[in-house]
Chain A
Amino acid sequence: MASSHGTTTHNWHRPLPKVWDLPPQRIVADGLRRIREGGATYRLLLILCAILGVVGVVALIAGPVLAGWGERQPWTYVAVTFGFLMSTIGSAPCLSVATRLVRSHWRRPVNRLAEIWAAGMIVPLILFFLLVALLPNTEGRYSVWFGWWGAPWLWDSLLMVALVVCGYAFLYTAAMPDMAVARDQAGPNHNGRFARLARGFRGSVQEWRTIDRGVAYLGVLYVLLYVGTMTIIASDFILSLIPGNNSAIFPATYTVQAFESGIALTLVTAGIMRWRGGAADYLDREQFFALGKLQLALGLLWFYFHWTEFIIWWYGRTPRETALLKLLYFGPYFVPFAIAFALMFLAPLSILLWTRIRMGIAGPIVAGALVLVGQVFEQIRLYSASFSNVDLRLRELDFIPTAYVPGVWDILLLVGLVGGAIGLGLVTLKVVPYPSIWEVTGGLWLRARKPFYKTEVVVIGKPE
C-alpha cells in the first residue's frame, strides 16, 4: 500500500482560477450589450415581471388596503412580502460591501449583481409605509423605544428612508464610472441619459479616488443602516407584536438569515446571468465556489441562531417561553418552520458540505434557490405569528392564536410584488452595465497566468 495511485475518493487537482484573458474592449462590449439591445429573453422577462407587478398592486389594493388599517391580520402577507424583499434584495448589496472590504479577488464580476438589487428597494419602502401605519402607539406595550417621542413611526421611517436612499446612492456611485463608459460608447440613442448620469466623469486620478472612497463609505454606511433597520424591523414588526417575546437574539437572527438569503439571491442571479445573461466568461467556478462557501457558512449560522433561541426557551420552561416555543416553532406554524429548517439549513448543509459540489456550478445555485424558497416560509412563519389578533397590552401570551391561512389574494400579492421588485432589478440592468466594466477591467491587470517550472500558476496581485 506504500503509495497507491489506484483508488481515489478525493483528487487534489483543482481547476485554476480563471484569468480573464479578455481584451478590455471585449469587457466594454459585454457591459454595454444589454444597454444597446436587451434581447428577446430579457424583454419577455421584463413583460412578465411587469404583469406580476400589476397583479401584485391589484392584490394589495383589493386585499389589505380595502380592509383598512384597523386590523393587523389582513396585512400579514404584505408584511411577508416586505420581510422577504428586505431580507433578499436589501441584504444583497451588503455582500458586495463585505467582499470589497476584505478585497476578495473573486468579487469583481459578482459585486454588480448584488448591488443591482438595491434598485428594487422602492417596493419594500412603499410596503413599509403601508405597514408602519399599522403599528400602535408604544404606550402600554413593550418595545425597545421605552416611550421615546415619535416612536415607533418616526424613527422607523427615518431609518428605512435613509437605508433606501443610501442603497441607491451606493448603487449609483459604484456604477458611475460605467455610466461614463456608456455615455461615450453606448451609441447615440443613449448619450443624453448617460451624460446626465455620469456627470462628466473623466477618470482622473482624483475622480477615481473619490469613487473609491465614496463606494467604501457608502457601502459601510449601507451595511450599518441595514443592520440597524433590520434590528428595528425585527423588534417593531415581529417581537413587539408578540406579547412576552423579548428574545434578544431575534434581531440578530433576522439579520443573519437575511444575509443568508442575500447570498442566495446573488447566487441565483449569478446563475441566471451565466446561463442566459451571457456572463459565462466572467462568472466561473471560482465565483460560485466562494459564494457557495459563504452560503454554507451562513446556513450553519441560521441553525446556530435558531438553536440558541430554542435551547434557552427549552431550558427556561417558564409559561412565557413555553407559549413562545409553541407559537413560533411547534404549534400552528410548525409546517412553515419545518420547511424553512429544511431549505435554509439542511439543504445548504447537505449540498454544500461536499467540496466536489461546491467546486461545481450547479450545486451552489441549487442551494441558493432552495434557500430563497425557504426564506419565504420563514417570513410566513414570523409574520403570521406576529400579525395574529392578540391584545398587545398582554404581558404574556396566555393562549396560542390559531394559524393564519393565506387566501388567493395573499398569494397573488406575495408573488406579484416580488415579481415587481425583480422587474425593477431587470430594468436597472438596462441602465447599469453588467459586468461592472471598471471593476472587471481593473481586475485584468491583477491576474496573470505564469509558467512556473513544470507547471503554470495563476498569480493574483494584491496592490494593498
Chain B
Amino acid sequence: MTPRWGMVIDLDRCTGCQACVVACQAENNVPINTEAIYLQHRAIQWIRVERYWEGEFPNIKARYIPVPCMHCSEAPCEPVCPVYATYHTPEGINMQVYNRCIGTRYCSVNCHWHVRFFNFWEPKWPESLHNQLNPDVSVRSRGVMEKCTFCIQRINHAEQNARLDNNRPLRDGEVNTACAQACPTRAIVFGDLNDPESEVAKIANTTDRGYKVLAELGTNPSVLYLKKIDPDAPAEHGAESA
C-alpha cells in the first residue's frame, strides 16, 4: 500500500525550543536568515514556531505552535500554479519542483498557512559553511518557491533501501523528518498515516485532542495538532478547532 505521509504535533509537549527550526535549516539547505532579511519580511523557515501569549500579567502563559507545511490533500496552492511546479504526489506530499518553478508566487498567495517561501535573492552562505550543505538536497536559486518537503530526500533514501532489501515494505520509524528527529520532547511524530500500526496513525486514530488548522477551508491537511492539556484554561486559542 502506498504510504500517506503525515505528522502529529502534540502541543502539550512542545516547549517552543526551536530545535526543529534549526534542524530543518541544516537538513534542507535553507538559506541563512540574516537580520536584514527579517526586516525585509523575507525570511525562509520551512518550519517555524508561532508563539502566543495567553492571559494577563502576571498570569501569563506562552503557547507555541510549530508550523510546517500542512501537505493538504486538496491543497489550494497546487492548482494555481501554471506550470505544474507544485503538485500532489501519490504519497500525499505537496511537492515543489524547483526546476519548473518560474516564480509567479501564486501558490504563496493562495496558501493560508503561510508556509511557502520565495527566494527573493540568490542564497549565499558564508565561506565557512560551504561544506555544511546537505548534498542530498538541491540548493534553490533565486526566483523560485520552496517549502517543507517532509524531508523527501530521507523518504526516498529509505524507500530505495527497502526496495533493495527484497522490496520489503517500509517499517515505521525508518523514515523521520529532521524536525521530528530533533524534537527533544518528541512533540513531533512523523510517519505513514495509511499504516494503522505506525505511531503517527495510532495517535491520530485514538486521540480526542486532535484538530487541524483552518479545517473549515476543507483542504484536509496531513498535519494533526493535539490540543494542549491545560486544566486552568480549557479553551484553545488562536487556531480554529476542528
Consider the complex of A and B and state whether they touch directly, i.e. have CB atoms less than 8 Å apart.
yes
**Interface residue ranges, A against B (CB under 8 Å):** 315, 317-320, 322
B79 contacts which chain A residues (CB < 8 A)?
315
Given A318-B218, A322-B218: 5 more A-B contacts, CB < 8 Å: A315-B79, A317-B74, A319-B216, A319-B218, A320-B216
Q: How far is the CB of A382 from chain B (nearest CB, A)?
A: 25
Chain B residue with Cβ nearest A315:
B79
10 of the cross-chain contacts (CB-CB < 8 Å) are A315-B79, A317-B74, A317-B218, A318-B216, A318-B217, A318-B218, A319-B216, A319-B218, A320-B216, A322-B218
CA distance A317 to B73 in the complex (A): 12
Chain B residue with Cβ nearest A321:
B218
B74 contacts which chain A residues (CB < 8 A)?
317
A322 contacts which chain B residues (CB < 8 A)?
218
Q: How far is the CB of A94 from chain B (nearest CB, A)?
A: 39
Main SS at interface, chain B = loop
Chain B residue with Cβ nearest A396:
B216
Q: How far is the CB of B63 from chain A (nearest CB, A)?
A: 26
CA distance A320 to B219 in the complex (A): 12
Q: How far is the CB of B76 from chain A (nearest CB, A)?
A: 8
Q: How far is the CB of A364 from chain B (nearest CB, A)?
A: 42
**Residues of B161-177 whose CB lies within 8 A of A:** none
Per the CB 8 Å criterion, the residue count for chain B at the interface is 5
The 8 A-B residue pairs whose C-beta atoms are closest, nearest first, are: A318-B218, A319-B218, A318-B217, A317-B218, A317-B74, A318-B216, A319-B216, A322-B218
Q: How far is the CB of B172 from chain A (nearest CB, A)?
A: 32
**Residues of B194-242 whose CB lies within 8 A of A:** 216-218
A317 contacts which chain B residues (CB < 8 A)?
74, 218
CA distance A319 to B215 in the complex (A): 10
B217 contacts which chain A residues (CB < 8 A)?
318
**Among B74, B79, B218, residue most surrounded by chain A Cβ atoms (within 10 Å):** B218
CA distance A359 to B59 in the complex (A): 81
CA distance A322 to B220 in the complex (A): 14
Q: How far is the CB of A398 from chain B (nearest CB, A)?
A: 12
A315 contacts which chain B residues (CB < 8 A)?
79
Chain A residue with Cβ nearest B74:
A317
**Among B74, B79, B217, residue most surrounded by chain A Cβ atoms (within 10 Å):** B217
Q: How far is the CB of A142 from chain B (nearest CB, A)?
A: 15
Q: Mark B5-27, 1 if CB is under 8 A from A, else 0.
A: 00000000000000000000000
CA distance A319 to B218 in the complex (A): 6
CA distance A317 to B74 in the complex (A): 9
Chain A residue with Cβ nearest B110:
A315
**Residues of B125-150 whose CB lies within 8 A of A:** none
B218 contacts which chain A residues (CB < 8 A)?
317-319, 322
Chain A residue with Cβ nearest B217:
A318
Q: How far is the CB of B81 from chain A (nearest CB, A)?
A: 14
CA distance A335 to B218 in the complex (A): 28
CA distance A319 to B219 in the complex (A): 9
B216 contacts which chain A residues (CB < 8 A)?
318-320
Q: How far is the CB of B26 from chain A (nearest CB, A)?
A: 37
CA distance A402 to B207 in the complex (A): 35
A318 contacts which chain B residues (CB < 8 A)?
216-218
CA distance A201 to B206 in the complex (A): 86
CA distance A266 to B212 in the complex (A): 55
**Residues of B76-109 whose CB lies within 8 A of A:** 79
Q: How far is the CB of A322 from chain B (nearest CB, A)?
A: 7
Q: How far is the CB of A225 from chain B (nearest CB, A)?
A: 38
A320 contacts which chain B residues (CB < 8 A)?
216
A319 contacts which chain B residues (CB < 8 A)?
216, 218
**Among B74, B79, B216, residue most surrounded by chain A Cβ atoms (within 10 Å):** B216
Q: How far is the CB of B143 from chain A (nearest CB, A)?
A: 26
CA distance A319 to B217 in the complex (A): 7
CA distance A159 to B217 in the complex (A): 37
CA distance A320 to B217 in the complex (A): 9
Q: How far is the CB of A65 from chain B (nearest CB, A)?
A: 41
Q: How far is the CB of B140 from chain A (nearest CB, A)?
A: 28
CA distance A318 to B76 in the complex (A): 10
CA distance A320 to B216 in the complex (A): 9
CA distance A318 to B79 in the complex (A): 15
